[in-house]
Each structure stands twice: as C-alpha cells, then as structure tokens.
Amino acid sequence: MIISKFSNFIHQYLFSGEASFYPTQYGCKNCGYMGKLHRHGYYYRNVITVFGTYKIKVLRVKCPSCKKTHALLPHFLVPYFQYSFYTILFLLFLNFVLGFSYSEVLSKIEKYKSLCSLNPSSLSRFHKRFISKCSEIKFFFANFTDIYPEFDLNKSGVLIKYIISYERRNISFNTSYFDSMPSYFFSS
C-alpha cells in the first residue's frame, strides 16, 4: 500500500469512479527502486465521508524491479477503514478536543446521513486505536516535523490539534506519516 498526496481537484473524479487522474508514482518501499511504478489494474473500495458514501476506483501499481504490487491510496483514505481520514479526524476532534461523549458525538453527526450507521462501538474502536497510536504519532512530530510535542501524553486532544495544524499548511499528515514511519497512521 502506498499513500500519496493527491491534488484536491482529483477528488471529484475519484468519487465519480474515474481513476485516470491518478498521479504517476515513483519509488518502491519494498526494494528501494527509485523509478516509475507501472499501472497494474484497479479495484473498487467504499469510502464514507460526512458528505456521502462513495465507491472509488483504487489504482494498483507494480514495481518493475521486485514485481511487488502496491495499492495507491489517495491521502484521504485510511488502509482497512471505510471512513475517510478526515471523517475519522473529525470524530476524534469531537471526542478528544471538544470532550464529547459517544452519545453526544452521535447526536452531533445526525445531520450527516452517510454517518447514520456509526454507533458507540465504532467510535470506541476509533478512540482506542488513536490512544494506541499516540506515542508513535508523538514520535512522528518530534522527529519528522518542526512541531515539538508536549510531554504530557495523556493529552490526546493536543495531538489531534497538531494533526489539524499540520494539515492547515496544506501538507497531508496521512502521507507524511506513511513516508516517514514504518506503519500506517491508524494501523493496528
């Protein structure tokens, strides 16, 4: 799996199932090959956002050197999660920064029809997963960005704010994290 920063104008094409706008991908993490990876088919995948549920085409690329295939995920997708990166971040923001309980989060998001299947157990899953990744995320900020994380690890809300301020610079946290760290953001 490769997580790549896509231009915003591409999103609407992906959401309408059009995949010809995928950017050319260079570099294989598996073998260290630096050249262009070749297109190698597509598969469909659901993505749930606050605006709706979409089926998007995900491009596979193949490394001409080691022959390994990689799925090329846009930066707004999280591997193995149907909810988009920004939707998960929004839910974590309500939970950790604004201090909403799960039931308060659920009543807050009632107006988003695409999120109506969310329940306390999925919120709890996001919550626990984020807690389990906090020290790794802190390591990422300390070592690969100019943001110096606070010492108090219990303040998960602070890390959410770091991620949001990082995104405000028009840098994809999800992509940078993938490029720098050995595991995906939100991987188990």
- Binding positions for Zn ion, rule: CB under 5 A: 28, 30-31, 33, 63, 65-66
For residues 16 and 101, give the distance between their C-alpha atoms in angstroms, rounded to a whole number.
Answer: 35
Closest CB 69 distance from Zn ion, rounded Å: 10
Decide if 72 contacts 4 (C-beta within 8 A).
yes
Instruction: Report the nearest approach of Zn ion to the CB of residue 26 (Å).
Output: 11
Select from 93, 68, 108 the least CA-distant residue to 161: 93
Tokens of 28: 């294989």
CA distance 177 to 162: 13
Alpha helices in 60-172 (DSSP H): 85-92, 102-108, 120-144, 156-168
CB of 25 to Zn ion, least distance (A): 12
The least CB distance from residue 30 to Zn ion, in Å, is 4
In terms of CB distance, is 17 or 35 closer to Zn ion? Answer: 35
CA gap 82, 87 in Å, rounded: 10
The nearest distance, CB 71 to Zn ion, in angstroms, is 14
* Nearest one of 34, 38, 24 to 68, comparing CA atoms: 38
User: How many angstroms separate the CA atoms of 75 and 182, rounded?
Assistant: 17
User: Cβ closer to Zn ion: 38 or 55?
Assistant: 38
